Amino acid sequence: MFTLRPTYGEDFVDREELLVEMVEALSSPRERMGFALVGRRRMGKTSVFLEVVRRLDENPRVIPVYLSLWDLVEGTLGELAQSLVRETLERFQERGRLPLTVRARNLLSAPLDLLREVLDGVRISVRLRREIEILLLFSRGEERPSAADFLERAVLFPENLARETGVRCVLFLDEFPTLMEVKHAGQALGEGAVRKLRTLYERIEHTVLSISGSMRGTMEAVALSPAAAFWRQFVVREVGPLPKPAVDTLLSRNLGQRVPAEALEALWEFTHGIPFYVQFLGRELARLGGKVTAEAVAQAGEEFLREEGDLLFREEWTHLAPKERKVAMALAQGHSAPTAIAQAVGDTPNVVSRYLLYLEKKGLAERSGRGDWVLTDPVLARWLARQGL
Protein backbone atom coordinates (compact mmCIF):
# COMPACT_ATOMS: atom_id res chain seq x y z
CA MET A 1 0.00 0.00 0.00
CA PHE A 2 0.95 3.67 -0.07
CA THR A 3 3.40 4.71 2.61
CA LEU A 4 5.24 7.83 3.69
CA ARG A 5 8.05 5.80 5.19
CA PRO A 6 11.08 4.52 3.27
CA THR A 7 10.04 1.51 1.25
CA TYR A 8 11.62 -1.67 -0.08
CA GLY A 9 10.72 -5.11 -1.35
CA GLU A 10 7.45 -5.42 -3.25
CA ASP A 11 6.45 -1.80 -2.75
CA PHE A 12 9.64 -0.46 -4.27
CA VAL A 13 9.32 0.62 -7.90
CA ASP A 14 11.88 1.42 -10.60
CA ARG A 15 15.62 2.26 -10.20
CA GLU A 16 16.50 -1.30 -11.20
CA GLU A 17 19.68 -0.29 -12.98
CA LEU A 18 21.03 1.51 -9.94
CA LEU A 19 20.07 -1.35 -7.62
CA VAL A 20 21.78 -3.94 -9.79
CA GLU A 21 24.90 -1.83 -10.08
CA MET A 22 25.07 -1.28 -6.33
CA VAL A 23 24.35 -4.86 -5.32
CA GLU A 24 26.92 -6.17 -7.78
CA ALA A 25 29.69 -3.82 -6.79
CA LEU A 26 29.04 -3.97 -3.07
CA SER A 27 29.05 -7.73 -2.92
CA SER A 28 32.10 -8.20 -5.11
CA PRO A 29 35.10 -9.01 -2.88
CA ARG A 30 37.50 -7.23 -5.21
CA GLU A 31 35.55 -4.00 -5.40
CA ARG A 32 36.69 -1.43 -2.84
CA MET A 33 34.48 1.45 -3.93
CA GLY A 34 31.20 2.19 -2.26
CA PHE A 35 28.52 4.61 -3.42
CA ALA A 36 27.58 8.16 -2.61
CA LEU A 37 23.90 8.85 -3.24
CA VAL A 38 23.02 12.46 -3.78
CA GLY A 39 19.41 13.52 -3.93
CA ARG A 40 17.11 16.14 -2.61
CA ARG A 41 14.79 15.54 0.30
CA ARG A 42 12.09 12.90 -0.23
CA MET A 43 13.51 11.52 -3.48
CA GLY A 44 14.01 8.02 -2.11
CA LYS A 45 17.65 7.73 -1.02
CA THR A 46 16.86 5.80 2.14
CA SER A 47 14.58 3.48 0.19
CA VAL A 48 17.40 2.72 -2.25
CA PHE A 49 19.72 1.88 0.64
CA LEU A 50 17.12 -0.34 2.32
CA GLU A 51 16.32 -2.19 -0.89
CA VAL A 52 20.03 -2.76 -1.51
CA VAL A 53 20.36 -4.01 2.07
CA ARG A 54 17.48 -6.42 1.46
CA ARG A 55 19.12 -7.81 -1.67
CA LEU A 56 22.58 -8.03 -0.11
CA ASP A 57 21.13 -10.03 2.75
CA GLU A 58 20.62 -12.89 0.30
CA ASN A 59 24.38 -13.21 -0.08
CA PRO A 60 25.86 -15.34 2.72
CA ARG A 61 29.27 -13.68 2.46
CA VAL A 62 27.99 -10.15 2.88
CA ILE A 63 26.46 -8.45 5.90
CA PRO A 64 24.92 -5.03 5.30
CA VAL A 65 24.63 -2.61 8.21
CA TYR A 66 22.45 0.49 7.82
CA LEU A 67 22.57 3.56 10.01
CA SER A 68 21.04 7.01 9.55
CA LEU A 69 22.71 9.96 11.18
CA TRP A 70 19.31 11.64 11.23
CA ASP A 71 18.10 8.97 13.64
CA LEU A 72 20.42 10.19 16.37
CA VAL A 73 18.43 11.87 19.11
CA GLU A 74 21.11 13.56 21.15
CA GLY A 75 23.54 13.81 18.28
CA THR A 76 26.56 12.83 20.33
CA LEU A 77 29.52 10.71 19.33
CA GLY A 78 28.64 8.38 22.20
CA GLU A 79 25.20 7.82 20.76
CA LEU A 80 26.58 7.35 17.25
CA ALA A 81 29.18 4.83 18.40
CA GLN A 82 26.61 2.93 20.43
CA SER A 83 24.20 2.80 17.49
CA LEU A 84 26.95 1.57 15.21
CA VAL A 85 28.01 -1.16 17.62
CA ARG A 86 24.41 -2.14 18.34
CA GLU A 87 23.39 -2.32 14.69
CA THR A 88 26.55 -4.24 13.79
CA LEU A 89 26.10 -6.76 16.59
CA GLU A 90 22.42 -7.17 15.75
CA ARG A 91 22.94 -7.71 12.06
CA PHE A 92 25.75 -10.21 12.64
CA GLN A 93 23.57 -11.98 15.18
CA GLU A 94 20.55 -12.08 12.84
CA ARG A 95 22.70 -13.47 10.10
CA GLY A 96 23.97 -16.23 12.33
CA ARG A 97 27.55 -15.00 12.49
CA LEU A 98 27.45 -14.16 16.16
CA PRO A 99 25.77 -16.75 18.36
CA LEU A 100 24.90 -14.54 21.33
CA THR A 101 22.60 -15.91 23.98
CA VAL A 102 20.81 -12.57 24.42
CA ARG A 103 19.53 -10.00 21.95
CA ALA A 104 22.43 -7.80 20.92
CA ARG A 105 20.16 -4.78 21.44
CA ASN A 106 19.83 -5.58 25.13
CA LEU A 107 23.46 -6.39 25.57
CA LEU A 108 24.67 -2.82 25.36
CA SER A 109 22.59 -1.62 28.25
CA ALA A 110 23.58 -4.61 30.38
CA PRO A 111 25.95 -4.28 33.34
CA LEU A 112 29.59 -4.87 32.46
CA ASP A 113 29.79 -8.18 34.34
CA LEU A 114 26.87 -9.59 32.42
CA LEU A 115 28.30 -8.35 29.14
CA ARG A 116 31.58 -10.13 29.88
CA GLU A 117 29.77 -13.29 30.78
CA VAL A 118 27.78 -13.31 27.57
CA LEU A 119 30.78 -12.46 25.41
CA ASP A 120 32.83 -15.21 27.05
CA GLY A 121 30.49 -17.72 25.49
CA VAL A 122 31.03 -16.40 21.96
CA ARG A 123 33.77 -17.43 19.61
CA ILE A 124 35.41 -14.07 19.02
CA SER A 125 38.93 -13.04 19.95
CA VAL A 126 39.78 -11.64 23.36
CA ARG A 127 40.87 -8.48 21.62
CA LEU A 128 37.47 -7.93 20.04
CA ARG A 129 35.67 -8.67 23.31
CA ARG A 130 37.85 -6.07 24.96
CA GLU A 131 37.01 -3.59 22.18
CA ILE A 132 33.30 -4.03 22.81
CA GLU A 133 33.85 -3.37 26.51
CA ILE A 134 35.88 -0.27 25.84
CA LEU A 135 33.31 1.12 23.42
CA LEU A 136 30.63 0.48 25.98
CA LEU A 137 32.57 2.33 28.68
CA PHE A 138 33.18 5.19 26.26
CA SER A 139 29.60 5.55 25.19
CA ARG A 140 28.34 5.39 28.77
CA GLY A 141 30.67 8.21 29.65
CA GLU A 142 32.58 6.10 32.14
CA GLU A 143 35.77 6.88 30.29
CA ARG A 144 36.46 10.06 28.36
CA PRO A 145 38.44 9.41 25.19
CA SER A 146 39.39 11.98 22.58
CA ALA A 147 37.00 12.27 19.65
CA ALA A 148 39.63 10.76 17.33
CA ASP A 149 40.20 7.71 19.53
CA PHE A 150 36.49 7.18 20.02
CA LEU A 151 35.72 7.46 16.31
CA GLU A 152 38.57 5.13 15.42
CA ARG A 153 37.44 2.37 17.74
CA ALA A 154 33.82 2.69 16.69
CA VAL A 155 34.62 2.53 12.99
CA LEU A 156 37.10 -0.31 13.30
CA PHE A 157 34.59 -2.41 15.22
CA PRO A 158 32.51 -3.64 12.23
CA GLU A 159 35.77 -4.07 10.31
CA ASN A 160 37.29 -6.32 12.96
CA LEU A 161 34.11 -8.30 13.42
CA ALA A 162 33.87 -8.82 9.65
CA ARG A 163 37.48 -9.96 9.49
CA GLU A 164 37.07 -12.45 12.33
CA THR A 165 33.86 -13.91 10.98
CA GLY A 166 35.07 -14.06 7.39
CA VAL A 167 32.45 -11.84 5.78
CA ARG A 168 32.34 -8.50 4.06
CA CYS A 169 30.56 -5.76 5.95
CA VAL A 170 28.74 -3.21 3.81
CA LEU A 171 28.14 -0.12 5.87
CA PHE A 172 25.52 2.44 4.83
CA LEU A 173 25.69 5.81 6.52
CA ASP A 174 22.55 7.69 5.54
CA GLU A 175 22.72 11.50 5.77
CA PHE A 176 26.46 11.23 6.23
CA PRO A 177 27.37 14.98 6.22
CA THR A 178 25.52 15.27 9.55
CA LEU A 179 28.62 13.62 11.02
CA MET A 180 30.17 17.08 11.09
CA GLU A 181 27.47 18.25 13.49
CA VAL A 182 27.80 15.31 15.86
CA LYS A 183 29.09 16.50 19.21
CA HIS A 184 31.73 15.23 21.57
CA ALA A 185 32.51 16.94 24.86
CA GLY A 186 30.19 19.76 23.86
CA GLN A 187 31.92 20.44 20.55
CA ALA A 188 30.85 19.65 17.01
CA LEU A 189 33.20 17.16 15.33
CA GLY A 190 33.42 19.26 12.19
CA GLU A 191 35.34 18.35 9.07
CA GLY A 192 38.14 16.85 11.15
CA ALA A 193 35.96 13.79 11.76
CA VAL A 194 35.44 13.30 8.05
CA ARG A 195 39.17 13.49 7.41
CA LYS A 196 39.86 11.10 10.26
CA LEU A 197 37.38 8.66 8.81
CA ARG A 198 38.99 8.95 5.42
CA THR A 199 42.39 8.05 6.87
CA LEU A 200 40.92 5.10 8.74
CA TYR A 201 39.19 3.98 5.59
CA GLU A 202 42.55 3.33 3.97
CA ARG A 203 43.34 0.70 6.57
CA ILE A 204 40.05 -1.07 6.14
CA GLU A 205 39.75 -4.21 4.04
CA HIS A 206 36.60 -6.00 5.09
CA THR A 207 34.21 -3.09 5.18
CA VAL A 208 32.95 -1.03 2.29
CA LEU A 209 31.25 2.27 3.00
CA SER A 210 28.37 3.93 1.17
CA ILE A 211 26.94 7.30 2.07
CA SER A 212 24.05 9.57 1.18
CA GLY A 213 23.17 13.21 1.63
CA SER A 214 20.28 15.53 0.87
CA MET A 215 22.16 18.77 0.74
CA ARG A 216 24.33 19.29 -2.26
CA GLY A 217 26.50 21.80 -0.40
CA THR A 218 27.47 19.50 2.47
CA MET A 219 27.93 16.54 0.14
CA GLU A 220 30.34 18.70 -1.86
CA ALA A 221 32.24 19.40 1.34
CA VAL A 222 32.67 15.74 2.32
CA ALA A 223 32.90 13.87 -0.97
CA LEU A 224 32.08 15.61 -4.20
CA SER A 225 34.54 18.44 -4.53
CA PRO A 226 38.28 18.04 -5.18
CA ALA A 227 39.04 19.57 -1.77
CA ALA A 228 36.80 17.06 0.05
CA ALA A 229 38.26 14.27 2.18
CA PHE A 230 36.37 11.54 0.31
CA TRP A 231 36.97 12.97 -3.17
CA ARG A 232 36.94 10.10 -5.67
CA GLN A 233 36.36 7.51 -2.97
CA PHE A 234 32.81 6.77 -4.05
CA VAL A 235 30.83 6.06 -7.16
CA VAL A 236 28.52 9.07 -7.13
CA ARG A 237 24.91 8.49 -8.16
CA GLU A 238 22.03 10.92 -8.26
CA VAL A 239 18.66 9.82 -6.91
CA GLY A 240 16.08 11.85 -8.79
CA PRO A 241 12.34 11.74 -9.43
CA LEU A 242 10.63 8.58 -10.63
CA PRO A 243 9.90 8.39 -14.37
CA LYS A 244 6.27 8.64 -15.47
CA PRO A 245 5.76 4.94 -16.20
CA ALA A 246 6.97 4.10 -12.67
CA VAL A 247 4.50 6.58 -11.19
CA ASP A 248 1.80 4.94 -13.28
CA THR A 249 2.80 1.47 -12.06
CA LEU A 250 2.86 2.55 -8.42
CA LEU A 251 -0.57 4.14 -8.61
CA SER A 252 -2.39 1.54 -10.70
CA ARG A 253 -1.00 -1.25 -8.58
CA ASN A 254 -1.89 0.26 -5.24
CA LEU A 255 -5.24 1.67 -6.30
CA GLY A 256 -6.23 -1.50 -8.09
CA GLN A 257 -7.40 0.34 -11.21
CA ARG A 258 -5.95 1.79 -14.39
CA VAL A 259 -5.23 5.47 -13.96
CA PRO A 260 -6.52 7.45 -16.97
CA ALA A 261 -3.92 9.50 -18.89
CA GLU A 262 -5.56 12.75 -17.85
CA ALA A 263 -5.38 11.96 -14.15
CA LEU A 264 -1.81 10.74 -14.49
CA GLU A 265 -0.92 14.00 -16.20
CA ALA A 266 -2.47 16.01 -13.35
CA LEU A 267 -0.58 13.94 -10.82
CA TRP A 268 2.64 14.43 -12.68
CA GLU A 269 2.06 18.16 -12.86
CA PHE A 270 1.74 18.25 -9.08
CA THR A 271 4.45 15.79 -8.01
CA HIS A 272 7.00 15.97 -10.84
CA GLY A 273 7.64 12.32 -10.01
CA ILE A 274 8.97 12.97 -6.50
CA PRO A 275 8.12 9.67 -4.79
CA PHE A 276 7.05 11.11 -1.45
CA TYR A 277 4.36 13.27 -3.08
CA VAL A 278 3.27 10.42 -5.32
CA GLN A 279 2.80 8.24 -2.24
CA PHE A 280 0.94 10.98 -0.44
CA LEU A 281 -1.47 11.79 -3.24
CA GLY A 282 -1.94 8.08 -3.84
CA ARG A 283 -2.95 7.63 -0.22
CA GLU A 284 -5.34 10.54 -0.45
CA LEU A 285 -6.87 9.13 -3.65
CA ALA A 286 -7.29 5.74 -2.02
CA ARG A 287 -9.08 7.45 0.85
CA LEU A 288 -11.39 9.39 -1.48
CA GLY A 289 -12.29 6.10 -3.17
CA GLY A 290 -14.08 5.86 -6.48
CA LYS A 291 -12.66 6.52 -9.91
CA VAL A 292 -9.37 8.35 -10.24
CA THR A 293 -9.95 11.47 -12.31
CA ALA A 294 -8.06 14.69 -12.87
CA GLU A 295 -10.54 16.40 -10.51
CA ALA A 296 -9.89 13.84 -7.79
CA VAL A 297 -6.16 14.45 -8.17
CA ALA A 298 -6.68 18.20 -7.86
CA GLN A 299 -8.74 17.64 -4.74
CA ALA A 300 -6.12 15.35 -3.24
CA GLY A 301 -3.46 17.97 -3.98
CA GLU A 302 -5.48 20.69 -2.26
CA GLU A 303 -6.01 18.47 0.74
CA PHE A 304 -2.33 17.74 0.88
CA LEU A 305 -1.31 21.39 0.88
CA ARG A 306 -3.89 22.30 3.48
CA GLU A 307 -3.22 19.46 5.88
CA GLU A 308 0.43 18.67 5.41
CA GLY A 309 2.10 21.68 3.84
CA ASP A 310 2.69 23.50 7.12
CA LEU A 311 3.99 20.42 8.85
CA LEU A 312 6.31 19.62 6.01
CA PHE A 313 7.73 22.97 5.05
CA ARG A 314 7.34 25.30 8.00
CA GLU A 315 10.51 24.26 9.76
CA GLU A 316 12.75 24.44 6.73
CA TRP A 317 11.18 27.78 5.91
CA THR A 318 11.78 29.35 9.31
CA HIS A 319 15.42 28.32 9.11
CA LEU A 320 16.00 30.50 6.07
CA ALA A 321 17.36 34.01 6.39
CA PRO A 322 14.73 36.74 5.76
CA LYS A 323 16.27 37.66 2.44
CA GLU A 324 16.45 34.03 1.33
CA ARG A 325 12.75 33.77 2.08
CA LYS A 326 11.96 36.85 0.04
CA VAL A 327 13.86 35.50 -2.94
CA ALA A 328 12.26 32.06 -2.60
CA MET A 329 8.84 33.67 -2.41
CA ALA A 330 9.54 35.64 -5.59
CA LEU A 331 10.53 32.36 -7.28
CA ALA A 332 7.30 30.76 -6.10
CA GLN A 333 5.39 33.64 -7.65
CA GLY A 334 6.97 32.86 -10.98
CA HIS A 335 9.78 35.37 -11.23
CA SER A 336 12.74 33.52 -12.66
CA ALA A 337 15.44 35.93 -13.83
CA PRO A 338 17.62 37.68 -11.22
CA THR A 339 16.61 41.06 -12.60
CA ALA A 340 12.90 40.25 -12.29
CA ILE A 341 13.40 38.86 -8.80
CA ALA A 342 15.39 41.93 -7.85
CA GLN A 343 12.51 44.12 -8.92
CA ALA A 344 10.01 42.02 -6.99
CA VAL A 345 11.99 42.07 -3.74
CA GLY A 346 13.36 45.59 -4.11
CA ASP A 347 17.04 44.70 -4.15
CA THR A 348 19.88 44.71 -6.65
CA PRO A 349 20.42 41.81 -9.08
CA ASN A 350 23.83 41.30 -7.52
CA VAL A 351 22.45 40.73 -4.05
CA VAL A 352 19.68 38.55 -5.46
CA SER A 353 22.20 36.42 -7.34
CA ARG A 354 24.11 35.85 -4.13
CA TYR A 355 20.98 34.69 -2.32
CA LEU A 356 20.05 32.47 -5.23
CA LEU A 357 23.38 30.73 -4.78
CA TYR A 358 22.67 30.24 -1.06
CA LEU A 359 19.32 28.72 -1.94
CA GLU A 360 21.01 26.51 -4.50
CA LYS A 361 23.51 25.27 -1.91
CA LYS A 362 20.61 24.40 0.36
CA GLY A 363 19.03 22.47 -2.49
CA LEU A 364 16.02 24.75 -2.66
CA ALA A 365 16.61 26.50 -5.97
CA GLU A 366 18.18 25.48 -9.25
CA ARG A 367 18.94 26.96 -12.62
CA SER A 368 16.48 25.81 -15.23
CA GLY A 369 17.84 27.45 -18.35
CA ARG A 370 20.13 30.30 -19.22
CA GLY A 371 19.97 32.59 -16.21
CA ASP A 372 16.55 31.28 -15.22
CA TRP A 373 15.86 30.04 -11.72
CA VAL A 374 13.13 27.87 -10.22
CA LEU A 375 12.39 26.33 -6.85
CA THR A 376 13.51 22.71 -7.01
CA ASP A 377 10.47 21.42 -5.15
CA PRO A 378 7.25 22.03 -7.11
CA VAL A 379 5.10 21.32 -4.08
CA LEU A 380 7.01 23.76 -1.90
CA ALA A 381 6.48 26.29 -4.67
CA ARG A 382 2.73 25.70 -4.57
CA TRP A 383 2.64 25.87 -0.81
CA LEU A 384 4.51 29.19 -0.86
CA ALA A 385 2.32 30.63 -3.59
CA ARG A 386 -0.70 29.83 -1.39
CA GLN A 387 0.73 31.75 1.54
CA GLY A 388 -0.10 34.70 -0.68
CA LEU A 389 2.34 37.21 0.70
Ligand X SMILES: Nc1ncnc2c1ncn2[C@@H]1O[C@H](COP(=O)(O)OP(=O)(O)OP(=O)(O)O)[C@@H](O)[C@H]1O
- Alpha carbon distances (Å) from 25 to 21, 235, 267, 279: 6, 10, 35, 30
Q: Is residue 46 a contact residue for ligand X (CB under 6 A)?
A: yes
Q: Please select the residue that binds Mg ion; options are 7, 27, 46, 160, rule is CB under 5 A.
A: 46
Q: Is residue 35 a contact residue for ligand X (CB under 6 A)?
A: no
Quick one: 46 or 271, whose CB is closer to Mg ion? 46
Cα 208 to the chain's mean position, in Å?
17
What's the CA gap between 150 and 76, in Å, rounded? 11
What's the CA gap between 214 and 263, in Å, rounded? 30
Quick one: 151 or 209, whose CB is closer to ligand X? 209
Judged on CB neighbours under 10 Å (0-12, 13-18, 19+), 55 is buried
Site string for ligand X, 187-216 (x = CB under 6 A): ---------------------------x--
Judged by beta carbon distances under 5 to 8 A according to partner kind, the member of ligand X, Mg ion, none in contact with residue 15 is ligand X
Least Å distance, CB 249 to Mg ion, is 22
Stretch of residues binding ligand X (CB under 6 A), selected from 41-49, 105-113, 158-166, 291-299: 41-49
Quick one: 164 or 181, whose CB is closer to Mg ion? 181
Question: Of 43, 355, 23, which Cα lies nearest the Cα of 365?
Answer: 355
Least Å distance, CB 179 to Mg ion, is 15
Stretch of residues binding ligand X (CB under 6 A), selected from 43-51, 154-162, 165-173, 254-262: 43-51
What's the CA gap between 373 and 365, in Å, rounded? 7
- Alpha carbon distances (Å) from 167 to 96, 149, 174: 12, 25, 22
Residue 284 and residue 297 in contact, taking contact as beta carbons nearer than 8 Å:
no
Give one DSSP letter per residue of 44-57, joined into a string: SHHHHHHHHHHHHT
Rg value, the chain, Cα: 23
Stretch of residues binding Mg ion (CB under 5 A), selected from 46-54, 109-117, 294-302, 332-340: 46-54
Stretch of residues binding ligand X (CB under 6 A), selected from 39-47, 52-60, 159-167, 374-382: 39-47
What's the CA gap between 83 and 179, in Å, rounded? 13
C-beta neighbour count of 370 within 10 angstroms: 6
The amino acid sitting at 227 is A
Q: Please select the residue that binds ligand X; options are 176, 276, 355, 373, rule is CB under 6 A.
A: 276
Residue 364 and residue 214 in contact, taking contact as beta carbons nearer than 8 Å:
no
SS3 35: strand
Stretch of residues binding ligand X (CB under 6 A), selected from 44-52, 121-129, 202-210, 337-345: 44-52
Q: Please select the residue that binds ligand X; options are 34, 39, 301, 338, rule is CB under 6 A.
A: 39
The number of residues that bind ligand X (CB under 6 A) is: 23
Quick one: 16 or 372, whose CB is closer to ligand X? 16
Quick one: 46 or 82, whose CB is closer to Mg ion? 46
Q: Is residue 379 a contact residue for ligand X (CB under 6 A)?
A: no
**Contacting positions for Mg ion (CB under 5 A):** 46
**Contacting positions for ligand X (CB under 6 A):** 3-7, 11-15, 39, 41-47, 214, 250, 275-276, 279
